Amino acid sequence: FDPNADAKRNKIWQLMEYYLGPDVGSIQRGIVNHVEYTLAATRFSFATEECYRATAFSIRDRLIETFNDTNEFFTAKDVKRCYYLSLEFLLGRAMQNALVNLDIEPNYKKALADIGYNLEELYEHEHDPALGNGGLGRLAACFLDSMATLNYAVWGYGIRYTYGIFEQKIVEGRQVEHPDYWLVTANPWEIERPDVTYAVRFYGHVDTYKDDKGRERHRWTGGEIVQAMAYDNPIPGFDTYNTINLRLWKACPGKEFDFHAFNRGQFLDAVKERQRAEYISAVLYPNDNTWEGKELRLKQQYFFVCATIQDCLRRFKKKEGRSWDELPSKVCFQLNDTHPTIAIPEMMRLLIDIEGLDWDKAWDLTRQCFNYTNHTVLPEALEKWPAHLIEKLLPRHLLLINDINYKFLCEVRESWGDVGEKLSKMSIYQEGYEKMIRMANMAVIGSNKVNGVAAIHSELVKKDLFPEFVDYYKAKGQPDKFVNVTNGVTPRRWIHCANRGLSNLFSEWLGSDSWLKELTMLQGLVNHLDSTELQKQWADVKKQNKVKLTKWIKLNCDIDLDPENMLFDIQVKRIHEYKRQLINCFYIIHRYFKLKKMSPGDRDKQVKRACLIGGKAAPGYAVAKTIIKLCNNIGLVLNNDPDTSKYLKCVFMPNYNVSNAQTIIPASDISQHISTAGTEASGTSNMKFVMNGGLIVGTMDGANVEIREECGEDTMFIFGALEPEVAGIREKAKNGNYPISAELREVMDAIVSGKFSLGDGEAHSEFVGLIEKIRNNGGGYNGDFYILCHDFPSYCKANEQVDALYKDQTNWIKTSIKAAASMGKFTTDRSIKEYGQIIWKLEDAERPAPDQSPM
């Protein structure tokens, strides 16, 4: 107790002149001070790049104020906290988002204009932080925005990779990967915390010993120690004073130093050895929806999880007189896919070996604290680590996993008897030549709730992945262990930042900008559906966005589009066979052939289309890379054909990432979400497109199903087999019963004949390989696992329906408005509320408005 605390606080207040003011003058002072004192540039002349950095620092100052106060408030109220553990956070640029959420964008704009800088230009100076692959990482980023906005005491935890997802360049139609050294210009948004570090051990061995109470205990020693250092990234909420945190760990050399090596004169070698620690957090693995069993990846997983759980338990213990029984009411963890699942045995290790709890107590607490989100049912994405690798890298954890598994299987046997096959499916171990550890099984066994990310997906998780677990927990009185939380996206970034024209239109027609926090309010727009004024404004906004994208494409691809007259048809997402960019390519070729066969007069009656495709292929995914090459070659043929290029163009847009998405998505008339039914867990860009007035061509998969429910079937162009039909279609195909339409045959023949190979022998043999794999060669099983041939005819029909509706512009616009206005469900605010209520059981922890007066 400090009797002078109040006086001290008062004094500090006076010194600091209270909080930073939101007025133009205070903003300018902040920026110019950073130019001089942080950048050591001269305040009388600084470049735009310097202005960007100084502005970023000045915004960070404000974020730090709200971040500190929020945290102090959480601690004082001792609220329950949730920690979102993810190997990926695909944040996108921070500046505009921070200004919007802090509600000072207009004043920053004025402040900068007044000293000769343009705020929008500064936005473009920011390097896109891209610590994620695709939907899974972007979802985590949207979630952070909503967690802060909803005043939940949640923090994100992950890795501060030195290299984010690679930058994709297209050279001669092929993907070339460039390393994304995003920290090269330093990152003005993060707060380095050299004082927040934890030791993380790898390898070594486990001793057993008896403690003073005679209990058998384990001690993990030896091996290597690396240090995890924290970097904090403040995440401001929208329309609230709360700011939460994304804490990312960087791997650093351990604190101990081998003085023997030093004395032996091997100083440089010893330093080199230590430096290797940094390798752990060096690079994000560039796979989306596929698992790669690399030791370094497992090291990354354990590295960040070990530091995170230590950090969270330390925070829990900070309050005096805590009992461990309180843990589940104060702490919970959300596992973003199985990637951080090693956190479960790590928690057990810390509770048992370090805190001295007994096994059953530790397990009881652990099971109550963890929850697991599944993001895919694709078998190639399910993580399985060889038991011997875990044993080598994390010997203590292997013992704990054995205990967890043994005790769990005993429990099952107790309830069900010796049900051999079921037991082997529920076991953490997959037996065989090489024993494997199934991370998904461990996540289910160690979690309180398990959720999928869209209604159809959550059903498949229960039906196809974990049916035995579902039965078992039902019998044990936990029928609600498996739940659904449909994904969403944040309207702050994906409407207000990405499409200011549309945002202004919404606010004007709805009478306020409250829709940004209550997205269902968009429904109010439907009352004005017949207003020609609204329709005109709507069309204008779309036109402007198409013009902007046209410029981007001219700049990046040197291709001219006609934004006035062409329908913009967009498919942007990771390149993956299940996402079926190939069926899109087939249709584009088919459309081209149809145009070629028409008379010029008939051509003129057709809807003009620009088919825009973008996305990265995992560097090791050969088929995906061939698909990129094919897209590019189709573009070369079509765009240079004087007969048709006015009517149909095809562009592969390079380096699809968050900031490019913010330009691309608002410009769509239609977008393609055409995965084989049952393969896309949710999809989230589908939501962004519709909110921005684009219509969906899609299959009954992932969140498309729920979008259709909300917006109405008349707003979507749905085609293809339904999920329950897919297995039967594959079975029939195996038996040779698999027709291919004449239209598709023509397309395939053309590809095989070399029409799109452009004299490149290597490309040609790759293309032929693609086609032969899916084409039925004389009955028997064909390799069309994603049933492109089956879905192609209905896909063509869906595309014809697009043209028909587009020709009726008034109806098109009304449909587009109706669809966008019906997207209220798909905000992450709704998703996070569901997590908060159903899974985390969190209270609202809104901090009061800051008191500007001294005490």
Q: Tell me which residues are annotated as active site.
A: 375, 573-574, 579, 684, 688
In the complex with ligand NBG, the residue whose CB is nearer, 227 or 831, is 831
- Residue closer to ligand NBG (CB basis): 545 or 675: 675
Give the residue from 552, 581, 562, 757 showing the smallest Cα distance to 649. 562
Piece of 48-56, 439-447, 676-684, 709-717 that binds ligand NBG (CB under 6 A): 676-684
Burial label for 40, CB within 10 Å (0-12, 13-18, 19+), is exposed
Work out how close the CB of 137 gets to ligand NBG at its nearest, in angstroms, rounded to a whole number. 8
Backbone Cα Rg of the chain: 28
Q: What residues between 310 and 339 interact with ligand NBG by CB under 6 A?
A: 337
What single-letter amino acid sits at 725? E
Which is closer to ligand NBG, CB of 202 or CB of 689?
Answer: 689
Q: Is 253 helix (H, G, I), strand (E, B) or coil?
A: strand
Is 126 or 680 the residue whose CB approaches ligand NBG more closely? 680
Q: In the range 274-303, which residues lie near ligand NBG by CB under 6 A?
A: 288-289
Side chain identity, residue 248: L
Region near ligand NBG per CB under 6 A, out of 115-123, 132-140, 437-445, 805-813: 132-140
What is the nearest approach in angstroms of ligand NBG to the Cβ of residue 572?
14
Is there binding between residue 682 and ligand NBG (CB under 6 A)?
Answer: yes
**For ligand NBG, which stretch binds (CB under 6 A), given 203-211, 308-316, 552-560, 679-687?**
679-687
Least distance (Å) from ligand NBG to the CB of residue 41?
42
Q: Rounded distance, CA 61 to CA 22, Å? A: 12
- Draw the binding track, 417-456, toward ligand NBG (x: CB under 6 A; -: no contact): ------------------------------------x---
- Structure token digits, residue 457: 């997906």
Please say whether the beta carbons of 255 and 274 come within 8 A. Answer: no
Single out the residue of 144, 846, 811, 820 nearest to residue 521, CA to CA: 820
As a whole number of angstroms, the distance between CA 74 and CA 153 comes to 7
Rule CB under 6 A: is residue 842 a binding residue for ligand NBG? Answer: no
Collect all residues with Cβ–Cβ distance below 8 Å to 187 and sequence separation of at least 6: 129
The least CB distance from residue 337 to ligand NBG, in Å, is: 6
- CA 635, chain centre distance (Å): 29
Q: Which of residues 691-750 bind ligand NBG (CB under 6 A)?
A: 702
Residue type, 406: Y
Euclidean distance between CA atoms 22 and 108, whole angstroms:
9
Helix (H, G, I), strand (E, B) or coil at 335: strand
CA distance 741 to 206: 63
Question: Toward ligand NBG, which CB reaches closer, 284 or 362?
Answer: 284
By beta-carbon proximity to ligand NBG, the closer residue of 346 and 680 is 680
Residue 82 in the binding site for ligand NBG (CB under 6 A): no
Q: Where are the beta strands (DSSP E) in 172-242?
A: 174-180, 191-202, 205-210, 216-221, 224-236
* Minimum separation from the CB atom of position 196 to ligand NBG (A): 29
Q: CB nearer to ligand NBG: give 132 or 824.
A: 132
Distance between CA atoms of residues 823 and 692, nearest Å: 10
Output 177-186 pairs: Cβ under 8 A, ≥24 positions apart.
Answer: 177/286, 177/619, 179/283, 180/130, 182/127, 182/128, 182/129, 182/130, 184/127, 185/49, 185/53, 185/127, 186/53
State yes or no: residue 684 binds ligand NBG (CB under 6 A). Answer: yes
Q: Is residue 188 near ligand NBG by the rule CB under 6 A? A: no
Using the minimum distance from each CB to ligand NBG, give the nearer residue, 160 or 375: 375
* 375 touches ligand NBG by CB under 6 A: yes
Nearer to ligand NBG, 385 or 509 (CB): 385
Q: Does 139 bind ligand NBG (CB under 6 A)?
A: yes
Distance CA 5, CA 119 (A): 41
Residue of 394, 681, 697, 802 that binds ligand NBG (CB under 6 A): 681
Q: Measured from the CB of residue 164, what is the shortest distance to ligand NBG in angstroms?
A: 16
What is the smallest separation between the CB atom of 853 and ligand NBG, expressed in angstroms? 45
Residue found by looking up tokens 């492109």 in the block: 788
Dmax (CA) of the chain: 94
Q: According to the binding rule CB under 6 A, does residue 683 interact with ligand NBG?
A: yes
Considering the rule CB under 6 A, would residue 136 count as an interface residue with ligand NBG? yes
User: Which residues make Cβ contacts (< 8 Å) with residue 746, sequence separation at least 6?
Assistant: 590, 593
Asked if 702 contacts 682 with a C-beta cutoff of 8 angstroms, the reply is yes
Stretch that binds ligand NBG, among 13-21, 62-70, 524-532, 682-690 (CB under 6 A): 682-690
CB of 539 vs ligand NBG, minimal distance in Å: 30
For ligand NBG, how many residues bind (rule: CB under 6 A)? 18
From 81, 67, 72, select the one nearest 842 (Cα to Cα). 81
- To ligand NBG, the closest distance from the beta carbon of 339 in angstroms equals 9
- The residue with its CB nearest to ligand NBG is 135
Q: Residue 237 or 452: which CB sits closer to ligand NBG?
A: 452
One residue of 30, 135, 678, 824 binding ligand NBG per CB under 6 A: 135
Site string for ligand NBG, 380-399 (x = CB under 6 A): -x------------------
> For residues 137 and 140, what is the distance between their CA atoms, to the nearest angstrom?
5
The Cα–Cα gap between 663 and 499 comes to 8
Task: Compute the least distance from the CB of residue 375 to ligand NBG, in Å.
Answer: 3
> How many beta carbons lie within 10 A of that of residue 364, not counting itself?
16
Least distance in angstroms from the C-beta of 702 to ligand NBG = 5
Q: Which of residues 34 and 574 has its CB atom nearest to ligand NBG in the complex? A: 574
Q: Does 376 bind ligand NBG (CB under 6 A)?
A: yes
Interface residues with ligand NBG (CB under 6 A)? Answer: 134-136, 139, 288-289, 337, 375-376, 381, 453, 487, 680-684, 702
